[in-house]
Structure 1
Amino acid sequence: MRVQVEADREFWRGQLVAGGFTAVPRWTPRPVAGVADHETTVPEDVAGPLRGLAQDLAVPLDSVLLAAHAKVLAALSGEREVVSGYVPADGGRPLPCRLTTEPPTWRTLLLNAHRAASELLAHQDFPVDDLRRELGLTEPPFEAVFDPGGVGGDLAEDTVVRIGFSWRDDRLVLRLRYRTDVLDADCAARIAGYHVTALALIAVGPDAEHGRQGLLSAEELHFQLEGLAGPRRELPDRRMHELFEQRVREHPDAVAAVHGERRWTYRELNARANRLARALLARGLRREGVVAVVTERNLDWPAAVLAVFKAGGVYLPIEPHFPAGRIATTLTRAGCALVLTEHGSTTTLDQALESLPRIGKVLIDAAYAEDHADDDPGVPVAPDQLAYIYFTSGSTGEPKGAMCEHAGMLNHLYAKIDDLELGEGQVVAQTAPQCFDISLWQLVSGLLVGGQTLLVEQEVILDVQRFVDRIVEGRVAVLQVVPSYLDVVVSCLRQHPRELPDLRCVSVTGEALKKELTERWFAVQPGIKLVNAYGLTETSDDTNHEVMDR
């Protein structure tokens, strides 16, 4: 007897101290305290083969059901190792059951679940709660409970959902009892559906690799891909630079871009971009030829970017302070033919070009001074034509070039214009370094609606008080920062409260935006919206916008 107790104790100690907690997603927009039930019948053409499979493997049907449950929990949590409560056959308090979805096939997953359940039941009489208290474990061990016998019962305080199976009129019935402050009826039905789908996949192909199979129904797959998508907008049959040219014709003397004391009107910015574009064409730039732009963040930068688009080329941003080796690698991988740069930005660039004699260097001041017309060049540019290449860090640590087309860029710019409610005369702060894709929308989105771009110097950004002053003085309406910098701004505003009279919207991207920071922002600036944004360079930047006013 003593040997058994020691064995029980050792087993449960290993289970409890292994750590890991499987949380159930909070899937309801309107939490309401209470408990509800959802029932669904497992189709007979699924239940029958499952019973046959259990007999062939000499395991109880409960183990098959547990394998499906493990797969669902793994899908919900994104973890391969999951912990669920397990109700013994005679009922009673659920015991923590540690499961893994590492085994590749349904059959091996099922056998692993059977082994885990068998070990648990062999030690079920041990007072697990007493050992938890002895070990000082106060957090709940699980949120989901698996009840293979369908015993039922009330949800414990720490339980979010209880999955039970029972036989009724010779039909296998799944009953899901859940807390309505965590799940709503639709989401509960989806979780039940995942269990049925997993069981169906086991029934038709026990030797299939479950990692290659999804649990979503056709209806939910459509909802995930289409129902959650943003508005479908008809894009104008023009490119970004052509829409800018239209704004130039409508208000040529409005201010387009500001940097320090320098201010360029739409007419001035367009004329300079046109002269640069013609300088590139005169040097043989062809359709989708790659042009690197190596400048500081000043007014020549937007002129150079527009020039590349106007000439039908591909914009490749490179920061002047990058090491020569990195610049050379980027130029080579992108197949770059020309570099637009300026005096003061060529130190490491010149070192890189020493080994790349075929790449031509064009100084912006010299190109301005050449005898080129300053009217729009009118080079045809197709929507599926390559617009830009951004080199990201890459999953392997080696930089990789992400290539995006004009239509994708325009779609993203209009998403920003719509969701951030950009309009004529409004100021967009340009804060991001050139090598980040977010720098592009910050640079040009305002130019599509008759707005103004304010280029904020890096040294100003590094001094948060100066930065807030610049936002106020520049009458910025739309700003984008990363959450860690927003945290600094909030702290500054709490210490030195002030009005931000023109700021209407702050976009936050690049990192996870936490609830606590969101609450702090609205505590100091309740009238200024936050847009939680995120996306991939490969998808033309942000693909998700959550506009929040509280």
Structure 2
Amino acid sequence: IVRTSDPLASTPWTVSIVDLQHLSTSEKEIALQQLAQQQVQRPFDIATEALVRTTLVVLSETEQALLVFIHHIVFDGWSVGVFVQELIALYNAYSQGQPSPLTPLLIQYADFAIWQRQWLQGDVLQSQLSYWQQQLKDAPALLSLPTDRPRPAVQTFVGTYHKFALSVELTDRLVKLSQEQGCTLFMTLLAAYDTLLYRYTGQSDILVGTPIANRDRSEIEGLIGFFVNTLVMRTNLAGNPSFSELLGRVREVALSAYAHQNLPFEMLVEALQPERDLGHTPLFQVVFNLQNAPVQKLELAGLTVSSLPVESTATKVDLALSMENTTQGLMGVWEYNTDLFDASTIERMNGHFVTLLSGIVANPQERISQLPLLTAVEQQQLLVDWNNTWMEYPEDKCIHQLFEQQVKRTPNAIAVVFEDQKLTYQQLNSRANQLAHYLHSLGVKPDVLVGICVERSLEMVVGLLGILKAGGAYLPLDPEYPQDRLSFMLEDAQVSLVLTQQRLLDKLPQLQAKQVYLDEVWSQIAQNNQDNPTSEAKAFNLANVIYTSGSTGRPKGVMVEHKGLCNLAQAQIQTFDLTSDSRVLQFASFSFDASISEILMALGAGAALYLGTKDSLFPGMPLIERLRDYSITHITLPPSALAVMPFEELPALQTIIVAGEASSAELIKQWSIGRNFFNAYGPTEASVCATIAKCTFDEKISIGRAIANTQVYILDENLQPVPVGVPGELHIGGVGLARGYLNRPELTQEKFIINPFGSGRLYKTGDLARYLTDGNIEYLGRIDNQVKIRGFRIELGEIEALLSRHDDVQIC
């Protein structure tokens, strides 16, 4: 039946017949599909076996299935049309007892091969090579599509497909747009595909493989054989062009590629010698194809013929999009690697592609970054539903007033413990009130900063509350900090008053500010009134200023207001299930934002706050002993501290909160059994904590969802929301946002931007994250902590994770 010049044509070729008549209808369908799958997966032995394999399956006396499998080395997409046309002609003739109507071939595939080999040499070959060498110079080696699973070290080819159809109306509008822009439909669809990939990856240099029939001579149009070649379409999307402008770029690239289509792809790869990686194909990992090969409908005399779809289980690349224009509109198929992508991810991607195409025909002058991508349902989910976090909170209160309310409820309960010293809520309140009245007499009032440099002690908590009750805001100064850093903080904050202790005199720099030595003047402070002072501070006034490291090396002071900390206190008390029976360890350095979180969650819930010296809280056995001896129920630790802790049962420890760094699955598995384990995330600029995840060892690690009255948006560099699964910069909004950076208006304006999705502002965290399908957020690292080597995107966290597995590396 098949006419070919292949030298193996004389190899014995048989038609297998399989009888399934004895099976039930449903069993026949299953058996037929299984047989087809087996044939698809069975390799050809090209040395000894015919490259055509045919099986006739008998289903009943009137129904048969013909399975034809042909090796790609002698057959391409265009050949399908030729094969069908000749099959129709031969069957219709033979069924009526007539001879073959096919005329002898004037040339065969071997003739083409000889001609191509003779033509493609010398200046012709050099011209083709030079074009592609210049066109693909310094091209990125990998298109970093966001995947559901890490890329295997060695590429796999396990795949499946997803079909879709565009409406006739949308198809007609795409055809019309192509005509208006002087482009082919292929060019328009490729430009849209490029735009989709750009929006998914953020890369503006995109390489897409596309097959070309390579039958540019009429003599070979009727031949069966492997003529197809693969072209690399490299598109520059830099500068955020309009789609119309991008289409012009794609048109130019495509026409140049067509003019140099005769260089076989294998020869191109050999000439370019790209850096090879077993994990992916060279030059491109995505493919686009618009089928335009003529395929005649299979009509055989006296038969009703239908096609048998065979489930595809293999793919050569990460992602391939094939489309075909039919009378019912454009039809498409996504083929994808199932080791990389879930079916739901491709379904979402398809929705984005269709939405994008609709946006393109509606306004081809729109910039590609602004074209619609999300469906209406996704927009609602990402921008509204997952950010619907409103909860009533004491919005008119200051944090010291929350403490005062607790004093009324449990005046005699233990509030704070340091070694063998302790204070009840009433005692702590009385001392803080005495200090507040004293500070008020020194001019402390709302938004006045007071430095506090004390060792871990009861005075630390009394001092903090006293400053707040006086209406001021505290600036924590760690006595362990270098004097240069303390000098900078005091000078930058323009502090006029510092609370400290006499024994720390030699650790402090020369100060212009007035110094109050709490241990020396306490007898004088104790003469003041023990009643709550009338608070002049409001929820919008400053509670503290926390200095964080700056990218330029110059620390920056974050101005945190009462309202954000009040919201934080309530959210954490509820989430971590704190009660008056809880015992909270104050672990963080007083200069870190986590310290106020620990203090507030304890004193706001009527729990006991346990302090310790720096040495007694050293991660390892000292810290284990504190947890055990104090029967601590709640602790917040950075994962690096928890990682070096020897494992002990610690039956009293009900809740572990990790924050400040990315947590590992090993930590969660080890420490979550029998207790609550939370992964908290948030910058100081969002009042310490913005999202919380309750972790179990068998779930994907995430930073959870936004806490109460907080909004989280994951946006691309053009402030457009990215789809689920696609990385973007994490932006935070809500009542927890800090006022900004102290004395840094330009930086405040740069990092705290107008919220494009509602009222207020958003803080640009600089953190890379993505939404998971369940609404939880996966933290991926710092945007500025990302490096590229030879075009490969390298996450330093991956290198850290690998180093951590080494037996001799405890933590890195």
Fold-level similarity (TM above 0.5): yes
Query: Do the aligned partners of residues 361 and 60 (structure 1) sit closer, same or farther apart at CA in structure 2, a change above 3 Å counting?
Result: farther
Q: Aligned equivalents of 2:392 and 2:549: distance in 1?
A: 33
Question: Aligned letter for 1:163?
Answer: L
Q: How do residues 448-463 of structure 1 correspond to structure 2 at under 5 angstroms? A: 448-463=604-619
**How big is the alpha-carbon RMSD for the aligned residues of Structure 1 and Structure 2?**
3.9
Instruction: Tell me the residue number matched to 2:476.
Output: 317
Q: How do residues 139-538 of structure 1 correspond to structure 2 at under 5 angstroms? A: 139-141=279-281, 144-149=286-291, 154=312, 156-157=314-315, 161-169=319-327, 171-172=329-330, 176=334, 187-200=345-358, 202-203=360-361, 209-211=367-369, 215-217=373-375, 219-229=377-387, 231-236=389-394, 237-351=396-510, 353-354=511-512, 359-369=513-523, 370=525, 371-489=527-645, 492-493=646-647, 498-513=648-663, 517-523=664-670, 525-538=672-685
Contact 1:74–1:80 at 8 Å: present in 2 too? yes
Instruction: Tell me the residue number matched to 1:39.
Output: 164
Note if 1:549 corresponds to 2:696.
yes
Query: Do the aligned partners of residues 252 and 201 (structure 1) sit closer, same or farther apart at CA in structure 2, a change above 3 Å counting?
Result: same
Secondary structure, aligned partner of 1:521: helix
Query: Do the aligned partners of residues 393 and 267 (structure 1) sit closer, same or farther apart at CA in structure 2, a change above 3 Å counting?
Result: same
Identity fraction in percent: 27
Cα displacement string for residues 346-381 of structure 1 (whole angstroms, at most 9, x for unaligned residues) = 435341x24xxxx33222234532211122113143
Query: Do the aligned partners of residues 200 and 298 (structure 1) sit closer, same or farther apart at CA in structure 2, a change above 3 Å counting?
Result: farther
Question: Aligned letter for 1:146?
Answer: F
Secondary structure, aligned partner of 1:224: helix
Choose 3-12 or 386-395, whichever is displaced more. Answer: 3-12
Question: Aligned letter for 1:194?
Answer: H
> Cα distance, 1:219 vs. partner?
4.4
Question: Aligned letter for 2:562?
Answer: H
Q: Aligned equivalents of 2:418 and 2:692: distance in 1?
A: 28
Choose 137-146 or 533-542, whichever is displaced more. Answer: 137-146
Secondary structure, aligned partner of 1:402: strand
> Cα distance, 1:417 vs. partner?
1.6
Instruction: Tell me the residue number matched to 1:103.
Output: 239
Contact 1:24–1:160 at 8 Å: present in 2 too? no
> Cα distance, 1:150 vs. partner?
9.0
Q: Aligned equivalents of 1:415 and 1:367: distance in 2?
A: 38
Secondary structure, aligned partner of 1:62: helix
Query: Do the aligned partners of residues 156 and 308 (structure 1) sit closer, same or farther apart at CA in structure 2, a change above 3 Å counting?
Result: farther
> Cα distance, 1:118 vs. partner?
5.9
Give unmatched runs, 5+ long, in structure 1: 28-32
Question: Aligned letter for 1:374?
Answer: Q
Cα displacement string for residues 319-371 of structure 1 (whole angstroms, at most 9, x for unaligned residues) = 223344433433344343322222233435341x24xxxx3322223453221
Secondary structure, aligned partner of 1:245: helix
Query: Do the aligned partners of residues 321 and 105 (structure 1) sit closer, same or farther apart at CA in structure 2, a change above 3 Å counting?
Result: same
Instruction: Tell me the residue number matched to 1:126.
Output: 265
Contact 1:50–1:61 at 8 Å: present in 2 too? yes
Query: Do the aligned partners of residues 2 and 531 (structure 1) sit closer, same or farther apart at CA in structure 2, a change above 3 Å counting?
Result: farther
Secondary structure, aligned partner of 1:345: helix
Contact 2:447–2:472 at 8 Å: present in 1 too? yes
Question: Aligned letter for 2:277?
Answer: L
How many residues end up aligned between the 2 structures? 530
Contact 1:522–1:528 at 8 Å: present in 2 too? no
Question: Aligned letter for 2:622?
Answer: R
Instruction: Tell me the residue number matched to 1:138.
Output: 278
> Cα distance, 1:441 vs. partner?
0.3
Contact 1:155–1:161 at 8 Å: present in 2 too? no
Query: Do the aligned partners of residues 145 and 280 (structure 1) sit closer, same or farther apart at CA in structure 2, a change above 3 Å counting?
Result: farther
> Cα distance, 1:75 vs. partner?
3.0
Greater fraction helix: 1
Match for residue 192 of structure 2 among 57, 65, 68: 68
Q: Aligned equivalents of 1:2 and 1:93: distance in 2?
A: 17
Instruction: Tell me the residue number matched to 2:738.
Output: none
Question: Aligned letter for 1:518?
Answer: A
Q: Aligned equivalents of 1:120 and 1:259: distance in 2?
A: 75
Q: Aligned equivalents of 2:172 and 2:494: distance in 1?
A: 61
> Cα distance, 1:230 vs. partner?
6.6
Cα displacement string for residues 401-430 of structure 1 (whole angstroms, at most 9, x for unaligned residues) = 222221111111222222222222212222
Give unmatched runs, 5+ long, in structure 2: 1-119, 150-157, 215-226, 294-308, 698-812
Q: Aligned equivalents of 2:351 and 2:456: distance in 1?
A: 53
Q: Aligned equivalents of 2:662 and 2:316: distance in 1?
A: 27
Secondary structure, aligned partner of 1:66: helix
Secondary structure, aligned partner of 1:228: helix
Contact 1:527–1:549 at 8 Å: present in 2 too? no
Query: Do the aligned partners of residues 363 and 155 (structure 1) sit closer, same or farther apart at CA in structure 2, a change above 3 Å counting?
Result: farther
> Cα distance, 1:281 vs. partner?
0.4
Question: Aligned letter for 1:320?
Answer: P
> Cα distance, 1:62 vs. partner?
2.9
Contact 1:150–1:166 at 8 Å: present in 2 too? yes
Secondary structure, aligned partner of 1:281: helix
